[in-house]
Structure formats: structure tokens, C-alpha cells
Amino acid sequence: MALNGNVPDPVQAAASAGLPVFSARTRLLVVAPHPDDETIATGMLIQQVRAVGGEVRVLLLTAGDNNPWPQRWLERRVWISAVDRQRWGRRRHAEMLEALQCLEVPAQALQSLGWPDMGVTDGLLQSSDAAVAKLAAAIGQFRPSLIAMPALGDRHPDHGSAHVLVRLALAGQMDPPQQLAYMVHGRAPHSGVVEIPGTAGQAANKRAALAAHRSQTALSGARMHRLAARPERYVDLAPKPAGSTSPLPWRPPAWLWPWLRLSVISPAGTQSWRWPDAPLQRDREGTYRLALPAVATGPRFARLASNLPTPWIFDHWGWCEL
């Protein structure tokens, strides 16, 4: 399904694409874990809302300051101190403001929470109540009609955890906004999605916005341009019925079990176990299920992670929704 800015009847096109009809009353909140996510994932969406007079706010979770290899390359240094990281975060923040200007979003529309880069997951699992409350306050202050957030299956740990945070912050709302999930690190599904190709002019603005993120394109320019050039595809997060059992998508090998940790989080709180100690049941097909009491309301998510050290920043197991 596609929404194209050149179609004769934009109202009909938006309805057929599954999107709300954008108007001056549209209030779009983009949740971006790092500077550049707003451009790569939602550059077209932002412009289409702004084109009809709608309001856009970008909620930046981290400063993007834990980005050592581009910083080493551009600053010609090996060791990076806490002061160096803070300076790098300020640089990326300035680049983001420049990118938003290319997308016709005013500087005051950017709100930054200042959480640690590569630390969203720890904040969620260790202080879930505080993190969820802070995000809920930011959402409540803006009162969006539409939220764009990272997809749960995005392999960057900050992205998957950002999805969980937003969903928990919205849990219990009587009239929640429409929610769209975008994928940056991974592939969005080709079916059951809303796609926004945009116009040639909007595509040019998006390229200009990406060019503003100079610190990120210095070493990964080809990859960044490839990501930004993909059609913007979103999964519409319609409410899901509650189930009595919890199938898990993982089948870890037995030799790895001592180093795996399973965490479950819901509006009721967070639980965590070593994989061998988790309340698991296994059926004849080898599928694992969690033997947990049903939650009264709201979503529930599980995360599997390894304690083994690795230079790879992306999640191997990641999150799933139960």
C-alpha cells in the first residue's frame, strides 16, 4: 500500500494506505533513539505532515555520543574520554537540528531526553518505572495523534528497547494515538505495511537532511544512503488479543544456556532469569513457552540476551511480544 503526494485524491489514497488523513490537526511524534534515525526512517512522513500544516515533534532518546569509530576517524584520536563523548554528542545534536531544518521542522520541535547511547536497554530493565514515566510524560505533554517508533525487531538494542518503552508508556490509555513502527537495522516486511514513497522534492529534501549528519556519513556514507533510499515502510500496530500461552521464537543451543538471560517486562514490572532457571515449557516441536500468569492489561515483552563478551553491538536474539 502506498501514499503518493501526487495522487489526485489524497484523502482516498491515505485511507486506502491505512494512514490517517493528514491535516493541520495532525500531531506527529517521532521517537528517535539517535540523531539520524529521524531522517533515515521518517523523513518522508515528517514532510507530508508538515506539508498540510500538521505539527511534528521529534523525541530524541539519546545524544548518540557512544559512536567511537567515526569519532576516532574524524578527530584523529584513539582514546575517547567522557569529555570527548560529550563533545561528540553536541556535534550530533547540531547535525540533527540542521537535518530537521531541511525537513522544515523548527528547532523547538526537538526534545532530547539525554539517555546514555547504547544504554536504553539497561535503563528499561533496571529502572523501568522511571524510564516509562519519563517517556509517558513527554508523550502526554505533546498529545500526538500519530506516533512513529522503532520496530520491536530492529536489531540495534536501543531501537528494540525504545519500542518497548513507547508501548509501555501508552499502556492503559483510553484513546491511544495511532502507532506506526519503522525499521532501520533490518528489513521491514513487504506485506501488511504502510508505505510512503513521497515526491521527488521530498526525496531531495531527505537526501539533504541525511547529508547534514556528516559525522555518520564519514565512514558509512554508502550504507547510510542505502538505508535512507529505501521506501519508508511502517507496520501499523493494531491492538492484539491476549493469549493464554506465550510462545518464544528462540531455540538456543544447550551449550549456550549458562550465558543466556531471559527478561520479561510488562506494566506490572520486570522479571529476569538465567535461561536454565526460567519458567519454560517445551512442546514436541521444540518450541518454548513461558509458564507465567496472564497480565491484566497492557502488552508484555520478552528479551533474550547473552552475557558472553562480543564486539558486535547488535542484538542476536532481541525482543519478542508475548
pLDDT in tens, 224-282: 999 999 999 999 987 666 555 678 999 999 999 999 999 999 998 999 999 999 999 99
If asked whether residues 224 and 253 sit together in one domain, one would say no
Domain CATH number, residue 186: 3.40.50.10320
Among residues 207, 236, 265, which one ends one of the domains?
236
Which residue from 174, 176, 180 is spatially nearest to 193, judged by alpha carbons?
180
If asked whether residues 90 and 168 sit together in one domain, one would say yes
pLDDT at position 99 over 90: yes
C-alpha cell belonging to residue 256:
549456550
Mean predicted lDDT score pLDDT of the chain = 91
Q: Beta 55-62 vs 110-115: how paired, if at all?
A: parallel
Whole-number Å distance between alpha carbons of 320 and 267: 16
Q: Which domain holds residue 259?
A: 246-321
**Average of pLDDT values for 113-117?**
95
CA–CA–CA angle 90, 160, 78 (5° rounding)? 40
Residue owning grid cell 540476551: 305
Q: DSSP assignment, residue 2? A: B
**Tell me, what's the pLDDT at 174?**
85
Whole-number Å distance between alpha carbons of 33 and 157: 10
**pTM over cut 0.75:** yes
Q: Is residue 281 part of a domain?
A: yes
Which residue from 165, 200, 205 is spatially nearest to 181, judged by alpha carbons?
165
Please report the DSSP string for 112-167 in residue order.
EEEEPTT-HHHHHHHSHHHHHHHHHHHHHHH--SEEEEE-TT-SSHHHHHHHHHHH
Phi then psi dihedrals of residue 265, to 5 deg: -135, 140
Query: What is the share, in percent, of the chain residues with pLDDT greater than 90?
Result: 79
Q: Is residue 1 part of a domain?
A: no
Domains of the chain: total: 2
Lowest-confidence pick of 19-33, 183-197, 278-292? 183-197
If asked whether residues 89 and 200 sit together in one domain, one would say yes
CA–CA–CA angle 126, 155, 144 (5° rounding)? 70
If asked whether residues 230 and 293 sit together in one domain, one would say no
Among residues 236, 266, 292, which one ends one of the domains?
236
